[in-house]
Amino acid sequence: MTLIDLANPTRFLALTARLLPWLAAATIILLAIGLYQSATAPDDYQQGATVKIMFIHVPNAWLSMFVWGVMSIASLGTLVWRHPLADVAAKAAAPIGASFTFLALLTGSLWGRPMWGTYWEWDARLTSVLILFLMYLGLMALWRAVDDPSRAARAAAVLTLVGALNLPIIKFSVDWWNTLHQPASVMRMGGSSLDRSFLIPLLVMAIAFTLLFVTLHLAAMRNEILRRRVRSLQMMQASRVAFSEVGTGSREGSTSKEVGAA
Amino acid sequence: MQLSGHGVTCVRGGREVFAGLDFGAGSGEAVAVVGRNGSGKTSLLRLIAGLLIPAGGTIALHGGDAELTLPEQCHYLGHRDALKPALSVAENLTFWADFLGGERFDAGESLATVGLDHAADLPAAFLSAGQRRRLSLARLLTVRRPVWLLDEPTTALDVAGQDMFSGLMREHLARGGLIVAATHAPLGIDSRELRIGGAV
Amino acid sequence: MTALSALIRRDIRIALRVGGGALIGVLFFLTVVVLMPFAVGPDLALLSRLGPAILWLGALLASLLTLDRLFMADHEDGSLDLITMSRTPLELACAAKALAHWLAAGLPLIVATPVLGLLLNLDMVATGAVALTLLAGTPALTFTGMIGAALAVTLHRGGLLMAVLVLPLSIPVLIFGVAASQAAIVGPMTFGAPFSILCALSLVSLVIGPFAAAASLKHGLD
């Protein structure tokens, strides 16, 4: 199955209709396993039971960046390869990415409450995620601001790619800004020094969340394709002439214009 | 009912567009304002609608509703359609019906008359220029007002649309209304010509 | 009354639909507030001291910058002509449009305040005080801002010119808004005095705004 085969929306809809139940089932099973393992994982000797927020927080944070990556590839698809489904993929991913980013912020701040004593600390990590969240919201606002999706697609694609290039710079600046003002942040997570009893549930959760994203994304893409079909049907309906009661003669003049636009 | 203007002078941007213009129209009468581009056809309509203030002269409607001012008894159909693309066709029409007030007729029927009943629930953004014009016409049918001020009303309308519109104007005149239309194209109804700004 | 409620409902509907700008104001508010710590540093004690001022500045900019299209859109599509000609006095129509704008763009700012208070380390009392002063003060911003929006139509210039015209007019609101929130948080003044003045400013602008805007629109007819 190549990308070209998927270019046809009808084929995409048929394929995803068959794929989605399996994906959903796999997501549920993995999530159940991951949650069970997380619940039974030992408490941290410093942080106690609060460490379990990590099993939700880290996958969300990972996906907040992963989704932007997916959108960037989709944007390349829009701008370079002109893949017909690319902007559908980019548009459908934005709200999902924003939700994961929001959950990362929420769980981060809930985790911060016992650690820092406040819900929010201008910690370099959290701050970067907050900026990412703002960029997601801006992107969604851009999609919403323009009525015609194909016109919004190019603008959104450019913004997504610029964002992707800027994200490392923003991350670096925030790190620099943060260390300028305060020494090391309270919370440190050495990735590799993590104990196996934490690592395995975390990996399972990360895969489960990624599957969750893929499932939601495909479903959202289906919705977007159907929404666009409704839109063009509506435009065709608008240009249809229901004019039998009044007047006679030809009315092709007013109808021919819009079929092209649809 | 008699609409009359005496010695109406219009100055725009320091330039005198026309001066000392006399005109009149009675119930059931249509006046076609003709003249070359820039002769002040649109300005005359906007003066009657109260959207411009005359530099001299008076415009008055005698025998109308004494409680209302002249602009409140006018329908002004300008170049711009006063439609919001984000609202549906029906929402656009009912908004104007609610906002303009007065005697009100069924919005759905007006839409059917102008041939847009199939599009009532669609966003106005999907309409073509001609359909937008038809929707504006539906406004004139839903809220009844005696004076119609029409600025190039037939632009963007196809042949069938122009026929339909001529029919609507005839009905309006038969009800005792009066029409002042600025136009280059023939209106398709019996009308008196008011030439402004010299020869074409 | 039907005419005015129809106008309010239409404007809110447009603001909330695709292409409407209601939620962009909140996003702008959020962004401005998030930018502040990068300028003043992440020190939570400092941020909580500056918090009310930051929130007020953000709300001020957000509510004014969304205003410049208030009459411009209606002017461009010809709706303003029909509104001017209608039986509804133009002053009341202006007031209705401003009210609709405040409901669609001003109220969400107040709803967003608690979240932003969290980012700036404001406690419950401080956040409540800021939200309350914004509730009392943002109508003043909208109703003075509408004068600028009407001038923007008259002069065929929008955007920054409008901001330059209107921002000085909003200084009193800013002064008493921030003063009232600070009074509630640290004292030593009583909350009542500046808050009453803030409410008075809102009430005065509720009257002056529509008249000035309508006069400007009528004068600028062409």
- pLDDT above 90 covers a percentage of chain B that reads 4
Q: Does C18 touch chain A (CB under 8 A)?
A: yes
Cβ pair B70, B59 in contact under 8 A = yes
Residue C121: which of A128, A106, A102, A117 has the closest Cα? A117
Of C18, C42, C119, the CB nearest to A181: C42
For residue A48 the two structure tokens come to 């106690």
* pLDDT confidence bin for A246, thresholds 50/70/90: very low
Tokens 């929001």 appear where? A102
Domains of chain B, start order: 2-195 (3.40.50.300)
Judged by CB atoms closer than 8 Å, whether chains meet at A137 and C18 is answered as no
**For B79, which residue in chain C has the nearest alpha carbon?**
C78
- Residues in Cβ contact with C221 at an 8 Å cutoff, skipping those fewer than 6 apart: B51, B52, B53, C84
C92 touching chain B per CB within 8 A = no
Give the closest of C18, C27, C34 to A130, CB-based.
Answer: C34
Beta carbons within 10 angstroms of residue C45's beta carbon = 8
The alpha-carbon gap from A173 to the nearest alpha carbon of chain B, in Å, equals: 41
Please report the pLDDT score of residue A117 as a whole number. Answer: 78
CA–CA separation, C41 and A127 (whole Å): 12
Asked if B72 has any chain C CB less than 8 Å from its own CB, the reply is yes
Question: Hey, are the CB atoms on B122 and A238 less than 8 Å from each other?
Answer: yes
- One DSSP character per residue, C151-170 reads HHHHHT--THHHHHHHGGGG
**Which whole-number Å values give the CA distances from C103 to B144, C110, C198, in the listed order?**
32, 11, 19
Helix (H) / strand (E) containing C174: helix C171-185
The answer to whether the Cβ–Cβ distance between A235 and B167 falls below 8 Å is no
Q: Which two tokens stand for residue A101?
A: 């980013």
Is the model more confident about A176 or about A228? A228
Flag whether residue A147 sits within 8 Å of chain B, measured between CB atoms: yes
Q: Are the Cβ atoms of A234 and B126 closer than 8 angstroms?
A: yes
- Smallest CA-to-CA distance from B152 within B189, B188, B192, B182 is with B182
Q: Among residues B158, B160, B156, B110, which one has the least CA distance to residue B137?
A: B110
**Residue C26 and residue C174: Cα distance in Å, rounded?**
19
Residue C219: helix, strand or coil by DSSP? helix
Quick one: angle between helices C124-155 and C90-101, nearest 10? Answer: 140
* pLDDT of amino acid A183: 46
Assess C115–A contact: CB distance below 8 Å, yes or no. no
pLDDT of residue A100: 93
**CA distances (Å), C168 to each of A21, C97, C171, in order?**
60, 23, 5
> Which H or E run includes B63?
none
Which of residues 241 through 260 in chain A touch B, CB cutoff 8 A?
Answer: 241-243, 245-251, 253-254, 257-258
SS3 annotation, chain A: CCHHHHCCHHHHHHHHHHHHHHHHHHHHHHHHHHHHHHHHCCCECCCEHHHHHHHHHHHHHHHHHHHHHHHHHHHHHHHHHCCCCHHHHHHHHHHHHHHHHHHHHHHHHHHHHHHHCCCCCCCHHHHHHHHHHHHHHHHHHHHHHCCCHHHHHHHHHHHHHHHHHHHHHHHHHHHHHHHHHCCCCCCCCCCCCCCHHHHHHHHHHHHHHHHHHHHHHHHHHHHHHHHHHHHHHHHHHHHCCCCCCCCCCCCHHHHHHHHHHC
Amino acid at residue number A74: A
| C-alpha to C-alpha distance for B30 and B42, rounded to whole angstroms | 16
Helix (H) or strand (E) holding C214: helix C192-219
Reported as type and span, the H/E element at residue B9 is strand B2-12
Token match 């005697």: residue? B103
Disruptive mutation site among A151, A237, A239, A243 for chain B (greatest number of B CBs within 10 Å): A243
Token couple for A212: 């969750």
Main-chain dihedrals φ then ψ at residue C199, nearest 5 degrees: -60, -40
Q: Which residue in C30, C44, C47 is closest to A134 by CB distance?
A: C30
| Averaged pLDDT for residues C4-28 | 86
The predicted model gives C4-20 an average pLDDT of: 86
- Residue B85 CA, chain-centre distance (Å), reads 21
B122 in A contact zone (CB under 8 Å): yes
Per-residue pLDDT tens over the stretch C146-185: 988 888 887 777 677 788 888 888 899 999 999 898 888 8
Mean pLDDT of chain C: 88
Q: Is A230 on the interface with C (CB under 8 A)?
A: no
Rounded Cα gap, residues B128 and A256, in angstroms:
10
- Which neighbouring-strand residues pair with B193? B32
Smallest CA–CA distance, residue A50 to chain B, in Å, is: 48
Q: pLDDT at residue A249 above 50?
A: no
Identify whether the C-beta of residue A105 lies closer than 8 Å to the C-beta of residue A172.
no
pLDDT tens digit sequence for A69-107:
999 999 998 888 888 888 888 999 999 999 999 999 898
B85 touching A (Cβ < 8 Å): yes
Q: What pLDDT, on the 0 to 100 scale, is given for residue A49? A: 72
Domain count, chain C: 1
C78 touches chain B (CB under 8 A): yes
What is the rounded average pLDDT for all residues in chain B? Answer: 85
For residues B34 and B184, what is the distance between their CA atoms, to the nearest angstrom? 7
Parent domain of C112: 2-219
Is a pLDDT exceeding 70 seen at residue A184?
A: no
Do residues A90 and A74 make contact, with C-beta atoms less than 8 angstroms apart? yes
Distance CA C165, CA C170 (A): 10
Question: Does the pLDDT value for residue B68 go beyond 70?
Answer: yes
**CA dist., res. B77 & res. A61, Å (int):** 56
Q: B114, B127, B128: best mutation site toward chain A, by most A Cβ within 10 Å?
A: B128
Interchain contact C222–B (C-beta under 8 A): yes
pLDDT exceeds 70 at position A248? no
- Whether B54 contacts B8, CB under 8 Å: yes
Rounded Cα gap, residues B64 and B91, in angstroms: 30
Q: Is A252 part of the contact surface with chain C (CB cutoff 8 Å)?
A: no
Any CB–CB contact under 8 A between B173 and chain C? no
- Residue ranges of domains in chain A: 13-180+194-242+252-261
- DSSP, collapsed to helix, strand or coil, labels residue B17 as strand
Helix (H, G, I), strand (E, B) or coil at B134: helix
Contacting residues of A for C31, CB less than 8 Å apart: 134, 138
Chain B: list its partners (3+ Cβ pairs within 8 Å): A, C
What mean pLDDT comes out for the span B121-135?
87
Mean of pLDDT over chain A: 79
Nearest Cα of chain C lies from the Cα of B165 at a distance, in angstroms, of: 21
Burial of C123 (0-12, 13-18, 19+ CB in 10 A): middle
Reported in sequence order, the residue ranges of B92-186 that DSSP labels E, i.e. its strands, are 147-151, 178-182
Cα radius of gyration rounded to whole Å, chain C:
18
Longest Cα–Cα distance of chain C, Å, equals 57
ipTM comes to: 0.88
